[in-house]
Amino acid sequence: MDKILIHGGRPLSGSIKISGSKNSALPILAATLLTREPCILHRVPDLSDTHYMLQILTHLGAQVERASGTVTVTSDTIESIAPYDVVRKMRASVCVLGPLLGRCKEATVSMPGGCVIGDRPIDLHLKGFEALGAAVRVENGNVKVFAPKLVGAVISLTGKFGPTVLGTDNVMMAAVLADGITVIEGAATEPEVVDLADFLNKMGAKIEGAGTRRLIIEGVKELHGAEHDIIPDRIEAGTFLVAGAICGQGVTVKRVVRDHVSSVTDALIACGYQIQWGENSITVSPNGAAKPLEIATEPYPGFPTDMQAQMCALLSTTDGISVITENIFPQRYMHVAELKRMGAHVQLEGATAVIQGVERLFGAPVMASDLRASAALVLAGLKAEGRTEVSRVYHIDRGYEHLDEKLSELGAHIERLKE
């Protein structure tokens, strides 16, 4: 297993281009199952998660061609069973359920496991499928859904922790081929859901309200192929903006949509950093002493849970007491124990982290546990004195395209040790 070695304390400067969004590419790749015609997708990021999704599509019978960032998928004849050995690698595989149900009126997908950020239920997905007329069975670790036909319905998709992103995607992808009108109340409004709706409408779907809590979907008979550019990855952009805050002397992220990261730039401004906006770029610079922050994760457009760990790393070396509350995945604090090994002072109280900023962190061997926690450890290593060795970096490779190379371009002393 590869490791990433960081010699901290080097100031970052310069600019990097943001890759296509992982969390947009995954459901959009799944959506290609809804038509037998070719779909051409640009800016699909080169990640292990997108590779897993392409493996699943191939396993289901799709033809997949990849030329650098462009992927062409043709799902002429497909089967509807995605087995455990491909699904277990990535819980987001669950988003093939909706398109398979829409296209084949049946699907069998291995139940996604939990993961270190907490239980990952899909009860809201299944509630949506049942509302459309599907029967749902969970047996032998598989979810089976089938329907003689799908009929539009009014569905509320908000759960205890708010809307569901992939649940909204899944139900939307089943509803586009249902008979009649479907209304999804309490829909997720993340930019990645909007990107999926845009792609589905290019395929001939009739979806209105994307980006609002209320989606209206008029079912159509069939969908045709389409071409689409995946939106930039707002979490990658946020991660690099935090890198620029934690040890930067002016870091610019290019190919970013300003509104998609406004909750992150608002937080950095509240901490006292200078933010400047360009045509489709954002620059973060130090601007005197940074200030502590109280922040809570919320569904979009609130502060994203996928940026919570990175913010923890930044606030660990921000003088004063900061408080982070994690409202989406209350257990999402695997990074805290490792940050404490680097000298951070973080006290967990349920879903809240109370952070006493310290003057310096110290490099140490640390272990990655999940995608965003791993990114937080790399950010802390950039700031820490001495050498930090992050092991199990396969977690990072799931969601960041060449993170070490991009940070090296900004001046970081970082290298990947192949094991």
406 belongs to the binding site for ligand EPZ (CB under 6 A): no
Q: Which of residues 149-178 bind ligand EPZ (CB under 6 A)?
A: 159-161, 164-167
Task: Find the binder of ligand EPZ among 52, 329, 333, 400 (CB under 6 A).
Answer: 329
* Spatial contact of 102 and 27, defined as CB atoms under 8 Å apart: no
Q: Which of residues 184-203 bind ligand EPZ (CB under 6 A)?
A: 192
Tell the smallest beta-carbon distance from residue 344 to ligand EPZ (Å). Answer: 21
* Spatial contact of 112 and 93, defined as CB atoms under 8 Å apart: yes
**Residue with Cβ nearer ligand EPZ (8 or 198):** 198
Tell the smallest beta-carbon distance from residue 285 to ligand EPZ (Å). Answer: 27
Calpha distance 108→389 (Å, rounded):
41
Task: Find the binder of ligand EPZ among 143, 284, 328, 368 (CB under 6 A).
Answer: 328
Residue 317 CB-half CA count within 13 A: 25
Compute how many other C-beta atoms are within 10 angstroms of the C-beta atom of residue 107: 28
Residues with catalytic annotation?
115
Draw the binding track, 68-107, toward ligand EPZ (x: CB under 6 A; -: no contact): ------------------------x---------------
* Tokens linked to 81: 């069973």
Beta strands in 164-307 (DSSP E): 181-185, 206-208, 214-218, 227-229, 248-254, 274-277, 281-285, 294-296
Calpha distance 63→302 (Å, rounded):
38
125 belongs to the binding site for ligand EPZ (CB under 6 A): yes
Draw the binding track, 256-295, toward ligand EPZ (x: CB under 6 A; -: no contact): ----------------------------------------
Pairing of strands 274-277, 281-285: antiparallel
120 belongs to the binding site for ligand EPZ (CB under 6 A): yes
280: helix, coil or strand?
Answer: coil
65 belongs to the binding site for ligand EPZ (CB under 6 A): no
Q: For residue 163, what is the enclosing H or E element?
A: strand 162-163
Tell the smallest beta-carbon distance from residue 125 to ligand EPZ (Å). Answer: 5
128 belongs to the binding site for ligand EPZ (CB under 6 A): no
Task: Find the binder of ligand EPZ among 16, 54, 60, 122 (CB under 6 A).
Answer: 122
**Residue with Cβ nearer ligand EPZ (192 or 397):** 192
Q: Dihedral through CA 237, CA 295, CA 213, CA 127, nearest 10?
A: 100
Residue 82 CB-half CA count within 13 A: 34
Give residues in contact with ligand EPZ (CB under 6 A). 22-23, 26, 92, 120-125, 159-161, 164-167, 192, 305-306, 328-329, 371-372, 399
